[in-house]
Chain A
Amino acid sequence: MTNHWIDIKNSDCILIMGSNAAENHPISFKYVTEAQQNGAKLISVDPRFTRTSARADIYAPMRSGTDIPILGGMIKYIIDNNLYNKEYVAAYTNAPFIVGKDYDFDDGLFAGYNKQTKSYDSKKWAFEMDANGVPKMDRSLKHPRCVFQILKKHFSRYNTALVSKISGTPEADLRIIYKTYGATGARGKAGTIMYAMGWTQHTVGTQNIRTMAIIQLLLGNMGVSGGGVNALRGESNVQGSTDHCLLWHIWPGYLKTPRASNFSLAAYNKAWTPKSNDPLSANWWQNYPKYSISMLKSFFGENATPKNDYGYDWLPKVDDGKHYSWLDLFDEMYKGKFKGFFAWGQNPACSGAHAGKNREGLKNLDWMVNVNIFDNETGSFWHGPGMDPAKIKTEVFFLPAAVSVEKEGSITNSGRWSQWRYQGPKPLGDSRSDGQIMMELGNKIKAQYQDGGTFPEPIRNLKWDYLAKGEYDPHAVAKEINGYFLKDVTLKGKVYKKGTLVPSFGFLQADGSTSSGNWLYSNSYTEKGNMAARRSTQDASNNIGLYPGFAWCWPVNRRIIYNRASVDLKGQPWDKENWVIKWDGAKWSGGDVPDGGWPPLGSLENPNPKSRHAFIMRKHGHGQIFGPGRADGPLPEHYEPLECPVERNFMSSTYTNPTAAVYGSKADVYKTCDPRYPFVGTTYRVTEHWQTGVMSRHQPWLLELQPQVFVEMSEELAKLKGIKNGERVLATSARGRLECTAIVTKRFRPLKISGELGSEVHQVGFPWCYGWLKPKSGKEESANLLTPSTGDPNTRIPETKAFMVNIQKI
């Protein structure tokens, strides 16, 4: 989230789309409700009438996978009706940037598409630069090749009639939504979006979010209180685990995993440190080498020296252009490429798209380590449905982990708040905290490499001193993450002693004199103490619910990021009441930690040379309406899901995302417009269960509340198939089958996709919170047995929210 949970109360209009927050983030509704009580409108757009929809002022149905048409239509409406904040758009976004002459868009394809590689050459989308290497701009937004004009032209095709034809959303609903949300473009008004995996789990997932980000930039909703782009993350520490980068493509703090072409530390830093020639661009990532070298110092301690490139060569490199992502990982496993596998606090036999393929893959392993609280469908895959243990070679080590209340440490919520939690009881029986297990395993692996082994340096040299008297010490790690001065360092006339904690990432150095495991968390555990453990209920002076003394938030306790866009060019808040920061003529005073202390621009004609553009993390300092860094185009465009019920894309002859991730093993079957699979399927969760249910199916209360996997369907579809409410039915897709209980409900209604199809589209939905191990009947299985192994080309997140199924009586 660019903002945070409590800030939702400050919104004037809340769009919940791609999320069912009332069900899956129930306490967030405390703040949605508070906003509504203060006059805010709640809009819910969803294939199903959900618990969120039940509280909404406006609800509209849609066909799953058609978010870009719906939002694209909103962009057109906002521009056509002059609802955008022109001053904001001209000053803070890249709308004035001139795009080079090579850019083109024709029939669903952007310039630079290569049919063989199914990828784009994004150089064709580059901005035009002036003689100094600064992007050319037309702040009047009139140049025919400026981003604003290109945007206007691009989305002019998304008229409500066509959008309705694609999405099945009635035109009248679209208009009222566009009008209501578009009204937040007025100064002092703020609209927010709450989305979740309902947006990301599509072959156009990234562009779904880009479309909304464009809307937020046009309406001046970024950086302001009650605004922002807010991803509702589904797990208690999925924000923290992403920040610390348990992901193939990034190092802690969103540094890049080195590519093979980054042959030295210098080459690596050069490749990933952006350069801006604009003196008004803060270009914050110019500090990249300070963060990467400080991180290497945390990895390898005293063993990291300038002579050995701080151990840069000891860390693995990935091939340029190759993906090692979730879908790729399980594809490789299916092909038998791995011998060993760790499934640590995760249950991919139920959670991953195309779970059947993943389960087959587990058979190809020599050994697996499964760390969890409970037995689960991954660790026990070898005696699951259709498995013959006598034929499965995989050795499995199950290590019992402690529950969160049995250990100490911090987790980071969706609003980027890192919060410390304490140990209640000791771990039950002989279970151990994950940290304890990791430390001991690390020591055992180090022991294996004491006397040789292949390339032992990284293992031997890894700094691994986080045990205190044999016990894992989360404080020691938290301090390492924050970072230390490793020598006496004098900065701005002040001496910082060797061995003391750095106050913030502003103090990190690129010469090995500082360490920091994750620069983004630098400032979280300082000489003033453990910031994440703070409990002050005192609000900041602007009284908008920032609570700056409660827990700690990255970066540097800034609760609303991009907040220098919450003010006009003179530094005065767009919203006088719910202001975030304000300029008093000499400094930013009160409220939130400003996004850099530079003064406001003053004016666009004669900007204050001491100022910096508002979007400091972007190379050119502007919010990116036009995004040349994406795999599938600089602007969003509608493509049909890989499996869909329509035989053509009404926007263009480019049917599906031409860059989508697809796989070619015999398990990877996709069936679109196939009469055997006529209904649109989607997946979701329920309040009473969590993810695959490993941490909820064992609780008697929760299992009693939601005991069975079900399929929700409309009364019309039930009638068509002769299915009664409560009956067990069989759902099938091209990949698998799922027995489930039918819930016949008004929450789903057939959609009229007008025109050429001339028929109704039926949608059905499944919760994916079950697995064969529990409940004991063995009949409640994972809905991911049905979902496809295809995904977004940028994130490679699987498309589990739109696929085709059939439903039949058993």
Chain B
Amino acid sequence: MRLNRREFIQISGATAAGLALSRCAGKGGLFAPAQQAKALRIKDAKETTTICPYCAVGCGAIVHTAKKGDKRVINIEGDPGHVINRGTLCSKGAALRQLSENSERITTPLYRAPYAKEWKKVSWDWALTEIAKRVKTTRDATFEAKNAKGQIVNRTMGIASVGSAALDNEECWIYQALLRAAGLVYIEHQARI
């Protein structure tokens, strides 16, 4: 965690306690705020900071992940120690937990065969091996050492790639390196659209 826990409580404690109080009132009982704060679900959670994955303002958020049980995200909220958003988030940022904790996520590789009507589940090893084979077959079949003018171009014309602004910087760098080493020239992403 990057934000000192004490600082975090100091900044957001009043709000959190106030919220807790109103919830309790609804259930017909009133607890002292301090007592209620002890019972917060994030009490023993791991705290990590993140940057919102939506627009490019770059707002900070704090992710609370359960240390026990399913070890999934319990809560995500604006990071009060972040100098840009100072704890605030828009509706998308506020719904960030529903992105990671979402039953509609695909969690195994899938394959759709030619003319097939359905996906089938496959293993990572099979999928990546088969993709690598196709990269080689297509690259070798469509590789141009020279262009029409006889200039050396050493490029693969039969494969294109789009993506992605959703990748981290480090991933962007290795992805472009891999694509360029494979000879691709049709490399594009969200910057134009």
Chain A 295-320, CB-CB to B under 8 Å as 1, else 0, gives 00011000000000000011111110
Smallest CB gap from B139: residue in A: A454
Write out the residue numbers on chain B whose beta carbons fall within 8 Å of the beta carbon of A423.
48
The listed residue (A245, A411, A796) touching B192 by CB distance below 8 A is A796
How far does the alpha carbon of A701 sit from the alpha carbon of B102 in the complex, in Å? Answer: 12
A798–B181 CA distance with the chains assembled, in angstroms: 28
Residue among B127, B140, B163, B174 having the largest count of chain A Cβ atoms under 10 Å: B174
Closest 7 CB pairs of A and B: A429-B107, A413-B58, A345-B164, A409-B168, A344-B163, A316-B155, A444-B132
State the CA gap A478–B96 with chains docked (Å).
26
Known: A434-B167, A445-B136, A454-B140. A698 touches B95 (CB 8 A): no
Residues on A with beta carbons closer than 8 Å to the beta carbon of B128: 437, 440-441, 444
Complex Cα distance, B189 from A797, in Å, reads: 11
1/0 contact string of B142-178 vs chain A (CB within 8 Å): 1101010101111111111111111111111111111
Binds A, one of B16-24, B25-33, B82-90: B82-90
Partner of A236, one of B51, B65, B138: B51
Known: A260-B149, A329-B186, A521-B169. A535 touches B73 (CB 8 A): no
Report B-chain residues with C-beta under 8 Å of the C-beta of A742.
none
Q: Which of A455-463, A621-629, A664-672, A674-682 contacts B (4 or more CB under 8 A)?
A: A455-463
Q: Mark A687-709, 1 if CB is under 8 A from B, else 0.
A: 11111000110111110010000
Residue in B50, B107, B153 whose beta carbon sits within 8 Å of that of A430 in the complex: B107
Q: With A422-B50, A687-B92 known to touch, is A403 a contact of B138 (CB < 8 Å)?
A: no
Q: Tell whether B39 is near chain A: CB-to-CB under 8 Å.
A: no
**Is A425 positioned at the interface, with any CB of B under 8 Å from its CB?**
yes
Assess whether B187 is in contact with A248, with CB atoms less than 8 Å apart: yes
Main secondary structure, interface of B, reads mixed
In the complex, what residues of A have CB within 8 A of residue B180's CB? 251, 299, 315-316, 458
A458 B160 Cβ-Cβ under 8 A: no
Q: How many angstroms from the CA of A260 to the CA of B147 in the assembled complex?
A: 8
Q: Would you give the shortest CB distance from A222 to chain B, in whole angstroms?
A: 21
Q: Does B133 have its Cβ within 8 Å of any Cβ on chain A?
A: yes
Task: Known A403-B100, A462-B177, A695-B99; judge A477-B188 contact (CB<8 A).
Answer: no
Question: A406 — nearest CB in chain B belongs to which residue?
Answer: B100
Return B178 CB to nearest CB of chain A, in Å.
Answer: 5
CB neighbours (8 Å) of B182 from chain A are 445, 458-459
- Which stretch, A140-148, A153-161, A389-397, A560-568, touches the partner chain B? A389-397
Query: Which residue in B167, B177, B186 is a CB contact (below 8 Å) of A299?
Result: B177
B183 touches A (CB below 8 Å): yes
The docked-state distance in angstroms from the alpha carbon of A400 to that of B181 is: 24
Known contacts A314-B154, A317-B152, A389-B115, A339 near B142 by CB under 8 Å: yes
Residue among B65, B114, B133 with the highest chain A CB neighbour number at 10 A: B114
- B89 interface neighbour in A27, A332, A383, A800, Cβ under 8 Å: A27
Residues of A within 8 A of B145 (CB): 455
Specify which of B54, B63, B160, B190 is in contact with A332 (CB 8 Å cutoff): B160
Complex contact A481–B48 (CB within 8 A): no
A466 in the interface, Cβ–Cβ < 8 Å? yes
Chain B residues within 8 Å of A474, by CB: 168, 170-171
Given A242-B191, A342-B159, A423-B48, decide whether A414 and B58 contact each other with a Cβ distance below 8 A: yes
